[in-house]
Structure 1
């Protein structure tokens, strides 16, 4: 069989994966905190017809023949990587105090307990070693029945007080509350006195593209994400603006970083690439048909 036919098949598979990624980007153009994907390609190992040769000459350096370059035939393309691009998305004003946007790096930390002992709702403390942690850029948070700040999926937003991870809770009788740029949550109690409920903390990664998407606008840590840790090897809960993390903006949300103009352009080029590879298969099939017809 012709090598060009298999090269065309590999190209079709690659461009199909690119079209799938572009389609997912377009579908999430209005998803809070969404980070777009990108597909890169690599060539497959080439078949060597003849190897390279150096010049041939005598000791006096009188060359009898010059060098010869290698002759190779490519065998198609393959997917090199599917990257997640963590660039800053546009900020949309909502005027809702529990909507938080991050201006810069960092991610909100969410916790979900597997047992009742993992999250002590009486003292509002969390043992980070015993809970499932996830991370998000989508800051559309809510208050549950206990007044705790949670994600749309009911995961607790993690804060810290005196070096201990905690759930941030706003009392039911609070007259009002606000969230500062450093993550500090303040409220006015029923006596009209200002109080502090806690401070929302952030996680920082040296390689955020190494995070794994798990749905629900959340990411999961991996061995290649470079999560910042403290001296004890536990996750470092950083104050907003610390160690390169961004400031929090209350009353706003970070939108998707998908650029529709770019996405449509990439979609057109991927479609044309797919069509070109189908033409390779068609042409190769016509050549094979001519070979079959030779014996007639």
Structure 2
């Protein structure tokens, strides 16, 4: 009878523990990124009343006789199943679809969470605004003019410097891909203005100097009357100004004496064949183009604060005018019997701008949107995964810490080593299922009541024993 009393007590205590876990689950039903708990029971040790006996020649074997001494909690698991995603429309809100955790840092301590309700602080750090913990990732770096994110480096605080400057960049590459109509009429020597206009095709595009000033690049194409499949191209900078900006062309390292004219030759199939100038400069293989050098207008040259004079008497700037690849159709100059087109499909200069906005894509890459039209990578959010995520320790505020049974974090970008994708403008909700919790609550309540009845019945039996002496 005493055994049944203690068995009932263990049942009461452990069902109360299970009820505590259920109550915590229900209280966090609307907690962002919360992972529900689950209690598993196991029986306690059993008292041996009679041991087993093996079969003999005259009788068979005898099974052991054991009386159980109650039950105990086997595990309290944290179930890291996927929670549903709720759209918020807030660009700094992040959710993970699949495996992985966001990595946060407070001082020297690292924490891991699925709750991605992030925001910016006064210094532009991407943080959890509830705790101030900083989101970890890789900050973008600019190497040789190219912006890149090195995900093999150590993670660091992610900073989105809204309002910061993007310095002006001088144009160094211009890419042409126009088509010149094969049927364009030749311009006679005594041509009228109308004939000249009809026989000339013009392409215009804006380029930039090192101070961010805009200059118009105009290229006039006319058919060469002395050679088939050849066009004479003349470049002009700043045609809208009072004075045309002085310039010099170079083809294959040979400067043009006339300064701004070169010849484009096409093959019979309409693709580029060569580029040359009158001074013997020739390019007829791989990438074809000319090099343009011009004088930066004096209004763009900085002045010496002491003398008030320009720092440099003449400041030169050079860019490559790329015409395409020999024999190529795509993104190259062509000569077909169709309407001429003006297609300057790219140039790499821009004015100074300010970071006005940012976006985060499914790879966790943060892209800054600048007022000068540039979109530049600012960094990438890091994700961490664990061999045993159930072994992580809860530290409050929907955060986890590494334990001796969770394994070390595997920190990598989205999609590496089974990590999920990042969904911006959404949050992962709690994975608590209320219908399941209410069912478990009923079962737990019945178990608690049944164990209380065990104690009551054992007490009545003891009372009967005490009354035997009457």
TM-superposed deviation, 1:141? 0.2
In structure 1, the partner of 2:323 is none
Following superposition, the deviation at residue 264 of structure 1 comes to: 0.1
The CA distance in 2 between the partners of 1:168 and 1:39, in whole Å, is: 38
Alignment equivalent of 1:284, drawn from 458, 466, 470: 458
Q: 2:64 aligns with which of 67, 70, 77?
A: 70
Distance 1:257 1:82 in 2: 16
SS in 2 for 1:138: coil
How many angstroms does 1:193 deviate by? 1.6
2:386 paired residue number: 205
Choose which of 160, 178, 189 in structure 2 pairs with 1:170: 160
Between the aligned partners of 2:407 and 2:156, the Cα distance in structure 1 is 23
Which of residues 100, 106, 112 is equivalent to 1:112? Answer: 106
- Distance in 2 between the 1:156 and 1:192 partners? 29
Contact 2:155–2:382 under 8 Å retained in 1 = no
**Greater CA radius of gyration, 1 or 2?**
2
Match of 2:401 in 1: 220
C-alpha displacement at 1:164, in angstroms? 3.0
Structure 1: stretches of 5+ with no match in the other structure:
58-63, 114-130, 229-235
Superposed CA offset, 1:134-175 (max 9, x none): 000000001000011001210110002431322211122121
149, 163, 167: which one pairs with 2:126? 149
Shift of 1:25: 0.1
Whole-angstrom CA distance in 1 between matches of 2:40 and 2:159: 45
Give the equivalent residue in structure 2 for 1:260: 434
> Which segments of structure 1 move beyond 6 Å, counting only runs of 4 or more?
none
- Post-superposition CA distance 1:186-208 (Å, at most 9, x none): 11124332121110101111110
* Match of residue 80 from structure 1: 74
Contact 1:175–1:192 (Cα < 8 Å) also in 2: no
Q: Distance in 2 between matches of 1:96 and 1:170?
A: 15
Which is further off, 142-151 or 187-196?
187-196
8 A Cα contact 2:116 2:427, kept in partner: yes
Aligned length: 266
Deviates more, 1:170-179 or 1:263-272: 170-179
Structure with the bigger percentage of helix: 1
- 1:28 and 2:202 aligned: no
Distance in 2, matches of 1:211 and 1:237, equals 15
1:149–1:157 Cα contact (<8 Å) kept: yes
Q: Secondary structure in 1 aligned to 2:53?
A: coil
2:262 paired with 1:272: no
- SS of aligned partner of 2:86: strand
Distance 1:238 1:20 in 2: 36
The answer for unaligned runs of 5 or more in structure 2 is 139-148, 164-354
**SS, match of residue 14 in structure 1:** helix
Q: How many Å separate the matches in 2 of 1:237 and 1:195?
A: 24
Query: When the two structures are superposed, what TM-score results if normalisation uses the length of structure 2?
Result: 0.56
Instruction: Report Cα offsets for 1:45-77 as digits up to 9, x if no partner.
Output: 1000000001111xxxxxx00100000000000
Determine which structure has the larger strand proportion and give its number: 2
State the distance in 2 between where 1:263 and 1:252 align: 25
- Alignment deviations for residues 230-267 of structure 1 (CA, whole Å, 9 cap, x no partner): xxxxxx42101110110000011100000000000000
